[in-house]
Amino acid sequence: MAKVIVLKGDERSAAKSINELFRLAGGIGSFIKKGDKVLLKPNFLNPKPSSTGCTTSPAVIEAVVKAVLKQGGIPIIGESSPVSFDTELTFKRLGIDKIARKHRISIIDLNKYTSRVVKVKDPLSLKKIRVSDLVFEVDKIINLPVMKTHSLTTISLGMKNLMGCVPGADKLVLHRVGMHEALVDLNSIIKPTFTIIDAIVAMEGSGPANGKPKRMGLLIGSGDLLASEIIGARIMGANPYQLKYIQLSKGKELGEYDIDKIEVFGEKLSDVKRKFSLPSSKASSIFSSLVLGTVPLAMSRMGIDISRIAQKLYDFMRPYPEFLDRCRKCRRCIINCPEKALTLNSHPKPLLDKKKCIKCYVCDEVCIYNCVRVRRK
């Protein structure tokens, strides 16, 4: 059985909760050995504070730093924010540089670190991908995502967080080839030793950057990445088996897929489960279920595979992004658009070329001024 620990926690009690989480998971010693170099991978999509539900709480990061140091490990905090964001500035704004100085540990902007191209074994869409060298230089990885909704993948937890190990503009490749498939391919290369989902303040609505904070007061931990993803989805009120990237993870050695083989310790799921409002780009759960879930599944059992047609229909119905008049012309969306579908020139807001747009919503993800709408009409 895979183990997932769900505990109550907040910024003040983070250290106690993190220690308890490791204890219930079998002890930190089962995951980290003395002398291990341990990459702590938070989610720093942008410099917004953790109270917005956008970034990993510094209190959680410091608690994990202390736990690893106590175990005799060498923690290193590493992250690469999207192109046009300065990761080092984000480290400063969020107080991560102070944590690093206090505990005499390294913080590394993975956009500036060396990287290598790695071949994906049995890829779904990505034959090779550039990944930070640090991932392969450390002995262990502790994945520290935030619980959020996501305009493209519906939710964002541990699997999506590892995109920050892909430096710079190479992240955009994952959007171009199909995010769900690419996420599974990426996670087949990067294997975290332990995942702690920061759900002290989660995000609902227009995630992952512009949603509303949702105080859950929870920390979810597991040595099994897929099991933590499935339980995290359940806590958000989502059916994990209707999420395409989770469906594609079955049989990919990313962890336990079968919820009946996942044991939850700590809080009861029924006590902590909450309904998250989804990004407005998402179709109703009934439509998603019919188009991507129940009907294709039933037909595939009869030997008829309509999954490709169903996906095409679903993609066709997804909205194009719209740009609001309050645009500040910062150009982040233009720089990060993987298809170069946006131009600005002398216009007051970005102009969209629908022929080029692949509806990946990176523009929404990188707009810190909340000037992009992806809304179903």
- Are residues 142 and 40 in contact, defined by beta-carbon separation less than 8 angstroms? yes
Rounded to a whole number of angstroms, the minimum distance from the CB of residue 366 to ligand SF4 is 6
Angstrom distance (rounded) from CA 170 to CA 82: 10
Burial 237-260 (b: 16+ CB within 10 A, else e): ebebebbbbbbbbeebebbbbeee
Rounded to a whole number of angstroms, the minimum distance from the CB of residue 46 to ligand SF4 is 11
Rounded to a whole number of angstroms, the minimum distance from the CB of residue 235 to ligand SF4 is 28
Residue (301 or 316) nearer to ligand SF4, CB: 316
Residue (238 or 371) nearer to ligand SF4, CB: 371
Give the residue among 363, 359, 283, 356 at the shortest CA–CA distance from 323.
Answer: 363
Residue (102 or 312) nearer to ligand SF4, CB: 312
Rounded to a whole number of angstroms, the minimum distance from the CB of residue 316 to ligand SF4 is 14
Residue (24 or 357) nearer to ligand SF4, CB: 357
Residue (215 or 347) nearer to ligand SF4, CB: 347
Residue (240 or 338) nearer to ligand SF4, CB: 338
Residues that bind ligand SF4 (CB under 6 A): 321, 323, 327-333, 337, 339, 341-342, 349-350, 352, 357-363, 366-367, 369, 371-372
> What are residue 106's DSSP bridge partners?
76
Distances (CA, A) of 279 to 48, 119, 121: 19, 33, 33
Residue 352 is classified by DSSP as: E
Residue (31 or 361) nearer to ligand SF4, CB: 361
Rounded to a whole number of angstroms, the minimum distance from the CB of residue 334 to ligand SF4 is 6
Say if residue 303 is exposed, middle or buried (CB neighbours under 10 Å; 0-12, 13-18, 19+). exposed
Rounded to a whole number of angstroms, the minimum distance from the CB of residue 198 to ligand SF4 is 25
Rounded to a whole number of angstroms, the minimum distance from the CB of residue 172 to ligand SF4 is 9
Residue (246 or 333) nearer to ligand SF4, CB: 333
What single-letter amino acid sits at 43? Answer: N
Distances (CA, A) of 306 to 12, 60, 287, 290: 50, 44, 15, 12
Rounded to a whole number of angstroms, the minimum distance from the CB of residue 360 to ligand SF4 is 4
> What are residue 219's DSSP bridge partners?
7, 198
Angstrom distance (rounded) from CA 115 to CA 131: 5
Say if residue 301 is exposed, middle or buried (CB neighbours under 10 Å; 0-12, 13-18, 19+). exposed
